Structure 1
Amino acid sequence: MVLTDEVARFVRAIGPDPDETLIEMDEYAAAEGFPHVGPEVGAFLRLLARMVDAERAFEFGSGYGYSAYWLAEALPDDGEIVLTEVDEDELELAREYMADGGYDELARYELGDALETIERYDGPFDVVLIDHQKHRYLEAFEAVREQVPVGGVVVADNAIAATPIQTEKLLAILDGESPSELTKETRGVADYLEAVTTDPDFETVAVALGEGIAVSYRTA
Structure 2
Amino acid sequence: MWCIQQITPEYRKRMYRLLDLYKEGYDPLHPLVCMDEKSKQLLADNRKPIAARPGSLEKYDYEYKRKGTCNIFMAIVPKEGMRYTKVTDTRTKRDFAYFVLDLVDEHFSKSEYIQLVMDNLNTHFEGSLIETFGKQETERLMKKLRFIYTPKHASWLNMAEIEINIMDRQCTGTRIESKEKLAEDLEKWTKERNENKCTIEWKFTRQDADKKLSKHYVS
Q: TM-score, normalised by structure 2?
A: 0.31
Who wins on radius of gyration, i.e. which is larger?
2
Q: TM-score, normalised by structure 1?
A: 0.31
Is the helix fraction higher in 1 or 2?
A: 1
